[in-house]
A and B are shown apart, each in its own frame.
Chain A
Amino acid sequence: MSIMSRQKEDPVFNRVEELRLAKGLTRQQLADAVGVHYQTVGYLERGEYSPSLVLALKIAAALEAEVPEVFSIKPFKKGR
């Protein structure tokens, strides 16, 4: 993991890529919607960066989902 990871020991799992693709959004479009750099969306999707609460809320809103549907401290079950 790179130095920008917030908590190496407490990874945050997410479904950002899955939900973004389901909505037909590019990384750049999602990044613009939540006010971050498109590379930051990539870092999030790869689990290399855990977002702040504010950013998690913004991403969930942009993906029209609830935060627990997008982020979890436990791995998501496949097919969910």
Chain B
Amino acid sequence: MTAKRRSKFFWFEGVTEAEVVRSLNDTRPSRLRQQGPRRVLVWANALVLLAMGLIALVAQPKLQSYLEIALLAVTLGLYLTLRKAVRHISDAPNELLDERQIAARDAAYTVAYRGLAFVVVAVFLLHILLPSESDTGDLLAGRGSLILAFVMAAAALPAMVLAWSLPSEQPEA
């Protein structure tokens, strides 16, 4: 009897060994392997994150909540698609990647970290500039979407940088 090997889950990276290996070995043609469609995904995610940050401008709390949930679902979907588009290189641990992939991932993290500084400034400016209706002194009242947008941006930036910069893949020859 052969025991089915369990796929290791990398908690820190948030990926399973099986999904990374499957993604890396996937030779089926896909538009996600082309730089153009990947860049469209990056733009889409950036716009959705910006929209999430601006939800605080919506005056009606109920509409604000619906928009928050809808945009969160969209950005989550885009984030998972971006991870697939870069074959999970942005989130995979060293042991599952070769030296070029590790170099590409690390370079993407460097750019993403610098980009995150601009995101922090943007979040800070939005926090200051957006009108606040809280009388309770709660600094974060009505700012849930802004925080969610920041968290999603921090999570997705490395995959976005990789998706933007990786050239189109060539078929195996």
Chain A interface residues (CB < 8 Å from chain B)? 2-4, 6, 26-28, 35-40, 42-43, 46, 48-49, 51-52, 55
Q: How far is the CA of A47 from the CA of B8 in the complex (A)?
A: 34
Of the residues A3, A36, A42, A48, contact of B98 by C-beta under 8 Å: A36
Chain B residues with CB under 8 A of A42 = 169-170, 172-173
Q: How far is the CA of A4 from the CA of B27 in the complex (A)?
A: 21
Chain B residues with CB under 8 A of A4 = 100, 103-104, 107, 166
Inter-chain contact total with CB atoms closer than 8 Å: 48
- Nearest B-chain residue to A21, judged by Cβ: B173
Q: How far is the CA of A35 from the CA of B172 in the complex (A)?
A: 16
Chain B interface residue number, banded: 10 to 19
Of the residues B99, B107, B165, B170, contact of A51 by C-beta under 8 Å: B99
Chain B interface residues (CB < 8 Å from chain A)? 24, 27, 98-101, 103-104, 107-108, 111, 165-167, 169-170, 172-173
Of the residues B103, B111, B165, B170, contact of A39 by C-beta under 8 Å: B170
- Are A37 and B107 in touch, CB under 8 angstroms? no
Q: How far is the CA of A38 from the CA of B101 in the complex (A)?
A: 11
- Are B173 and A26 in touch, CB under 8 angstroms? yes
Q: How far is the CA of A43 from the CA of B104 in the complex (A)?
A: 12
> Dominant SS at the A interface?
loop
- Are A40 and B100 in touch, CB under 8 angstroms? yes
- Nearest B-chain residue to A40, judged by Cβ: B100
Of the residues A2, A36, A55, contact of B165 by C-beta under 8 Å: A2
Chain B residues with CB under 8 A of A36 = 98-100
- Are A48 and B167 in touch, CB under 8 angstroms? yes
Chain B residues with CB under 8 A of A26 = 172-173
- Nearest A-chain residue to B24, judged by Cβ: A37
Q: How far is the CA of A55 from the CA of B102 in the complex (A)?
A: 14
Q: How far is the CA of A7 from the CA of B165 in the complex (A)?
A: 16
